[in-house]
Amino acid sequence: AQKVTQAQTEISVVEKEDVTLDCVYETRDTTYYLFWYKQPPSGELVFLIRRNSFDEQNEISGRYSWNFQKSTSSFNFTITASQVVDSAVYFCALSETTSGTYKYIFGTGTRLKVLA
Amino acid sequence: DAMVIQNPRYQVTQFGKPVTLSCSQTLNHNVMYWYQQKSSQAPKLLFHYYDKDFNNEADTPDNFQSRRPNTSFCFLDIRSPGLGDAAMYLCATSREATGASGSTDTQYFGPGTRLTVL
């Protein structure tokens, strides 16, 4: 069965530190998509990135970077030089396509607290 | 800016009193989803519409219903809210339901409606 594990329930860092949020997934399909969303205290889930299973290139967007490794079924998210505004709950999600499903399988989320 | 809008942002209802939450989108997406999110938990999919086709999750209680009168609007009706239905309700949209091409399955979320049941 599909599953997404975010083992870190809560992480606290001091501003300007780098932090990595872990995401491990399970799927039997060869075609799938992985996502990261940010949920600030206001509640809205903000889309950050989508990665398909055939693209293992790491991606960088400003202070954000993602490391996708199929060999370990991981899709980790790193924030460089963290800021207080990065404080939020971050969700990793898996979406499968070959079986025709459309659902997101969400991880349980990691709460990041960035302290000034 | 194209977006997903939810009204109201905060809703208080009484135990057993029907309540309707609304969602509208200017993205012209085919798919609209309703999620329930309780404190410190991941969002849980209740149902979705692909155009006019309604798809209910197997474990969604009968107490929850939905309507999609047109492409832009989708409503969540809770017929007899219980204390356990207090939660954040999130609406999301995607252009398509699967990722067959491009990023058409990416879901874009509204700000949510926080429901309190007294």
Best of B27, B40, B46, B96 to disrupt the A interface (most A CBs within 10 Å) is B40
Dist CA A24 CA A5 (whole Å)? 5
Chain B residues in contact with chain A using a Cβ-Cβ cutoff of 8 Å = 31, 40-43, 45, 48, 88, 90, 92, 97-100, 103, 105-112, 114
A2's tokens: 């599909």
Residue type, A15: E
A8's tokens: 């870190």
pLDDT tens figures, B105-117: 889 999 999 999 9
Strand-pairing partners, residue B67, are: B75
Exposure pattern of B86-99 as b/e (b: 16+ CB <10 Å)?
Answer: bbbbbbbbbbbbbb
The strand ranges marked E within B2-118 are 4-7, 10-13, 19-25, 31-37, 44-50, 53-56, 64-67, 73-78, 87-94, 108-109, 113-117
Residue A112 CB burial class (10 angstroms; 0-12, 13-18, ≥19): buried
On average, the pLDDT of chain B sits at: 91
The answer to whether A100 contacts chain B (CB < 8 Å) is yes
Best of B4, B47, B88, B109 to disrupt the A interface (most A CBs within 10 Å) is B109
| Cβ neighbours for A48, distance < 8 A, ≥ 6 positions apart | A35, A36, A37, A38, A64, A77
A47:B100 CB<8 A: no
Provide the pLDDT confidence category of residue A32 given band limits of 50, 70 and 90. confident
The predicted pLDDT at position B114 comes to 96
- Residues of chain A contacting residue B41, judged by C-beta atoms under 8 Å apart: 108-109
A50:B88 CB<8 A: no
Dist CA B107 CA B104 (whole Å)? 8
pLDDT tens figures, B65-81: 999 999 999 999 999 99
For chain A, state the CA radius of gyration. 14
Give the strand pairing for A88-96 and A74-79: unpaired
Cα-based angle B29, A46, B51 (whole degrees, multiple of 5): 15
Over 80: is that where the pLDDT of B104 sits?
A: no
- Least CB–CB distance from A106: residue in B42, B99, B112: B42
- Least CB–CB distance from B109: residue in A44, A97, A103: A44
A102:B97 CB<8 A: yes
Dist CA B48 CA B93 (whole Å)? 9
Dist CA B85 CA B82 (whole Å)? 5
Query: What is the arithmetic mean of pLDDT over B78-94?
Result: 96
The predicted pLDDT at position A97 comes to 61
- Least CB–CB distance from A44: residue in B31, B98, B111: B111
pLDDT tens figures, A78-105: 999 999 999 999 999 998 765 555 678 9
